[in-house]
Chains A and B, each alone.
Chain A
Amino acid sequence: MQARVGKFEETAIIIRQEEIADDIYSMWLRTDEIASHAKAGQFVSVYCNEGSRLLPRPISICEIDKKDGAIRLVYRVAGKGTEEFSHMRTGMQLRVVGPLGNGFPLKHKKAFLIGGGIGIPPMLELAKALDCEKHIVLGFRDELFLLEDFQGKGQIYIATEDGSAGTEGNVLDAIRENGLSADIIYACGPTPMLRALKEYAAKNQIECWISMEERMACGIGACLACVCKSKEKDAHTNVKNKRICKEGPVFRAEEVEF
């Protein structure tokens, strides 16, 4: 029997939730279909229960537990919607649509997995999915999170803006300080970090995949809210715009302009 593919709307039940750093929450959700179809680098749309908040919140998938039919979301409280989620407890329900977007391609060659801030969570499932030599480079402002979860999944390097742990500076500073190299880059994080990595990858001729972020509405490719500029004309939009929620969120660094 062929497996069903596509997107699913489910009422997910919160298995557990905890605050793992200041304003950063980890939530495990029971979702049968989404968990069984999701892969690293994809995201879900989480809908608010409060009716005045109309738009779903796109949140990247941090971990997938196919055996138990569960996904883990690690998110930062950035507004009223994520604040609503942060107050929810075990057993409560959330409407979720997913899995959305394309996810990371799995190429088993010596890899940099680079996460910055709230771009770190999706690198965890990727670290589990990739069976190869991995340098995991994580950039934090100050407070560290998810470190224990990455243990044993590759060589871990840390950069902090305030120098309180690892290299003082950003992820590229950590790469340079430790004299690291790799044949492929997977990255998710703030735009300045992605921009620097795109430049670094081009200079060193390394294949580079980045996960992009933008304000979304529908989350499924219909409304054209979350586009990014592309180098070439996109086959679907017929202009130099790609839909982050549909063709992305993961792109080859050189195919997008930001």
Chain B
Amino acid sequence: MNMKVDLCGVTLNNPVMTASGTFGAGEEYSEFVDLNRLGAVVTKGVANVPWEGNPTPRVAEVYGGMLNAIGLQNPGIDIFIERDIPFLKKYDTKIVVNVCGHTTEEYVEVVERLADQPVDLLEINISCPNVREGGIAFGQKPEMVEQITKEIKKHAAQPVIMKLSPNVTDIGEMARAAEAGGADGLSLINTITGMKIDIDRRCFVLANRTGGMSGPAVHPVAVRMVYQAAQAVKIPIVGMGGIMNAEDAIEMILAGATAISVGTANFTNPKATMEIVDGIRDYMQRYQVKDMRELIGAVHDR
């Protein structure tokens, strides 16, 4: 039985990755998870310089989900290269570095700094709903998506995965724009912009007013968008959005994802990623699936 998948020319031992921002750079969760068992660790977004992020409260729970507005707090690329990459190198897993910035130049600077680093893939965050400049500003217009993808591809030494926002009218159009810009792969969905109001105090729960919604409540939306993106492009897709267990992961793969990322589920169950790897293996045994690739995009009409 083969659980390996090829993601933009990089072979993952299995399709299970972590969703950026939920897993730090792996160190904290390594007390619960054997990182060697994951297909890849996707790091928290890193910028050219340290970012302080948003004021607190930064998170709120909602029914079947949560909102976050961390604001891409990160220690900057210097510390990241010095501390976080060497930590991850100790494990037999692939390293995907999520890159954020306010301007094209900032993204490019990080991408260039990573060029000689032992990093397998880059995930470019053009879809964070919680920062005013950069982030989602690049991810909601197809021409912007294509342009920034082109710029990043000019400077990147590793394959480039563009992380797309669900806060758009036509996800297929965005997917095609990234592909036209030369993206090696896509990842989606980032969080859906939401809001929660404290009715006793009549105030916004989050200091940022709005936050990105994640968790099982968004999973059907994510499955639909991954399916539509997969129909629109030929490049591989990393599917994410509310994956809580192996069933959710397989659904995403059947919709067209080559690999999947587990995010909010880590908060609910620190061992979720490993359990999902085990669950996918069980599913393959039960249905006598010899190769993961048989499942990718295998959904059909009833």
Contact = CB atoms under 8 A, between A and B. Distances in A.
A222 B22 contact: yes
Given A218-B266, A225-B70, 9 more contacts: A54-B215, A56-B268, A216-B59, A218-B270, A220-B29, A222-B29, A224-B70, A225-B58, A225-B59
Contact of B267 (A7, A215, A218, A241): A218
Nearest to A48: B268
A146 interface: no
Contacts of B61: 53-55, 81
If over half of A's interface residues share one DSSP class (helix, strand or loop), that class is named, otherwise mixed; here it is: loop
A53 B268 CA distance: 8
A249 to B, nearest CB: 14
5 contacts: A9-B32, A54-B65, A222-B22, A222-B44, A239-B50
B19 to A, nearest CB: 11
A257 to B, nearest CB: 12
Contacts of A51: 64, 216
Contacts of B294: none
Given A223-B21, A238-B50, A9 B75 contact: no
Interface residues of B, number: 38
A195 to B, nearest CB: 16
Interface string A216-233: 111111111111100000
B24 A222 contact: yes
A215 B60 contact: yes
A224 B73 contact: yes
A220 B23 CA distance: 10
Contacts of A91: none
B204 interface: no
Contact of A55 (B28, B66, B70): B66
A226 B56 contact: yes
B75 A239 contact: yes
A210 interface: no
Interface residues of A, number: 34
A25 to B, nearest CB: 20
Nearest to B215: A54
A244 B136 CA distance: 28
Interface of A: 6-7, 9, 47, 51-56, 81, 97, 214-228, 236-241, 246
A237 B52 CA distance: 9
B271 A215 contact: no
A223 B66 CA distance: 13
A55 B59 contact: yes
A77 B270 CA distance: 25
Main secondary structure of the interface of B (DSSP, over half): loop
Contacts of B215: 54
B116 interface: no
Name the residue in B28, B64, B269 with the highest tally of chain A Cβ atoms < 10 Å from its Cβ. Answer: B28
Nearest to A238: B75
Interface string B35-79: 000000000100000111100111111011110101001011001
B75 A236 contact: yes
Given A215-B58, A217-B66, A227-B73, A97 B270 contact: yes
Contacts of A221: 24, 28
A212 to B, nearest CB: 11
B28 A220 contact: yes
B79 A238 contact: yes
Nearest to B265: A54
A215 B52 contact: no
B264 interface: yes
Contact of A54 (B21, B29, B76, B267): B267
Given A54-B267, A221-B24, A224-B58, A239 B66 contact: no
A225 B68 contact: yes
Contacts of B63: 52
Contacts of A246: 28
Contacts of A223: 21-22, 24, 59, 68, 70, 267
Nearest to A97: B270
B31 interface: yes
B52 A52 contact: no
Given A47-B268, A52-B63, A215-B60, A239 B28 contact: no
Nearest to A220: B28
A55 B267 contact: yes
Contacts of B53: 224, 227, 239, 241
Nearest to B21: A223
A219 B271 CA distance: 14
A216 B267 CA distance: 10
Nearest to A258: B56
